[in-house]
Amino acid sequence: MNTFNSEVREDVRYAGFWVRVMATVLDGFILGIPITILVSLLYGWTWLVEGPGQADLVYCLLSALVTVAFWVNWNGRTPGKKLMGIRLVRHPDLGGITHGKGLLRYVIGYTVSTIVFGLGFVMVAFRDDKRGLHDLIAGTAVIYDR
């Protein structure tokens, strides 16, 4: 069953919705807590309960930079992805991603996937290639390690 997909590779095991959610939750702890502590040291702990401000922007920027740095320098993995046995690759050739492609996926792709009521992420559950809107925008896929 090929549900609105392009270029589904039979030799690849694409990572589905729930394993990707779990990797994101793990990264929330493993990467998010240290970034929260760093931003709190710079801006004080009150930024966590105040309205949006500069500290939130710094948190988002650091999160993007750290995540993309892991993707590029750790073979498409963040700590959460590594623990779940999955990685981010270019689609369809399965090569490593560049900083530009990583930033496109994180900044533009995640933003668009979120703006459409999160449906860009939910798409992962319904596509044979398990690619979300952010993956389609950036030309990426998340696959299981071999």
Residue 1's pLDDT is: 46
Residue 4's pLDDT is: 56
Residue 5's pLDDT is: 57
Sequence spans of domains, the chain: 17-144
Q: Which residue from 130, 81, 139, 88 is spatially nearest to 109, judged by alpha carbons?
A: 139
Under 8 Å between Cβ of 16 and 123: no
Residue 2's pLDDT is: 46
Amino acid letter for position 146: R
Under 8 Å between Cβ of 142 and 130: yes
Residue 9's pLDDT is: 87
Q: Which residue from 116, 22, 27 is spatially nearest to 67, judged by alpha carbons?
A: 27
Residue 136 is encoded by which pair of tokens? 């389609």
Parts of the chain with a pLDDT under 70: 1-6
pTM, two decimal places: 0.92
